[in-house]
Amino acid sequence: MAPERALVVRGSGPGGARLAVFLLLAAAGLWAALVLDLDPRRLWPGREGWQLGAEFFGRALRPALAREGADLPPDLPPLWWQATRAAWRTVSFAAAAMLPALAGGLLLGFGGATAWWAGGRRSWLGPAVTAACRLASVGLRSVHELLWAVLLLAVFGVTPLAAVVALALPYAGTLGKIFAELIDEAPRGPAGALRDAGALPVQVFLFGLLPRALPDMTAYSLYRFECALRSAAVLGFFGFPTLGYYISASFENLYYGEVWFYLYVLLALVAGVDWWSGAIRRRLGR
């Protein structure tokens, strides 16, 4: 019985490994909660907290359609116009950051993939380039965009360049990691055929590997653009003129109706980009 039972356990396959990983993560989470003394009872607000929460969430169904507050300057643009401009700036920051992020991600992804040198002549150059690119990807994405923003604010000040670079650096690292994995997971049959026919490594990569990985790389890039929109909005809390800037200013002035108006604009913006990117992914079959 013992050998048969051991055989059943070993035959559990990937499902058993996934369950073990899940249980390990759950145990680590429980241990961390005990170490940090996380008591759910502390989330129960006091009387003032209940009043503030009721006032804030009560405006969710009654967002402001015009500016709140008294003694407003007569030349102040309407609320909807300011929200539209802030949404456009949010998209602009995200798009501007994705351009260098994609360029860096492609470079790191191509260099960090093992598929372009695996199966060919073994030398120290291929593994060295792969290790260097993967290390660079880890270094870039290990620092959150908010921390990059804090650092770059001290260097460049509150300028669009600082916001774009703060978004582009960690996104380049993340794209580089995912691109390398997608290239390595692409079918290698065509690449092997080209290699056996005497094609150069660049030709093998461009015509044998890249076309198979490109649809997944495109789909993931669209997803990262959605993430860049949310990150660009959050950067507004640092003073950049995105939706987050106006959300923060309205919240500080207790204009909760304006806060919800800006939040709904952000929700519509992300939903629209999600629909657009989803349509592209469906056309690509992803």
pLDDT tens-digit profile, the chain (286 residues): 444 444 444 445 566 788 888 899 999 999 998 898 888 887 787 888 888 888 899 999 999 988 887 777 777 888 999 999 999 999 999 999 999 999 999 999 988 888 766 555 556 677 788 889 999 999 999 999 989 999 998 888 888 999 999 999 999 999 999 999 998 887 777 767 777 777 776 777 777 777 888 888 988 998 899 999 999 999 998 888 899 999 999 999 999 999 999 999 999 999 998 888 888 877 876 5
pTM, two decimals, is: 0.80
The whole-number pLDDT of residue 203 equals: 74
The whole-number pLDDT of residue 111 equals: 87
The whole-number pLDDT of residue 118 equals: 59
In CATH terms, the superfamily for domain 79-284 is: MetI-like (1.10.3720.10)
Q: Tell me, letter by letter, the H, E, C secondary structure of the chain.
A: CHHHHHHHHHCCHHHHHHHHHHHHHHHHHHHHHHHCCCCHHHHCCCHHHHHHHHHHHHHHHCCCCCCCCCCCCCCCCCHHHHHHHHHHHHHHHHHHHHHHHHHHHHHHHHHHCCCCCCCCCCCCHHHHHHHHHHHHHHHHHCCCHHHHHHHHHHHHCCCHHHHHHHHHHHHHHHHHHHHHHHHHHCCCHHHHHHHHCCCCHHHHHHHHHHHHHHHHHHHHHHHHHHHHHHHHHHHHHHCCCCHHHHHHHHHHCCCHHHHHHHHHHHHHHHHHHHHHHHHHHHHHCC
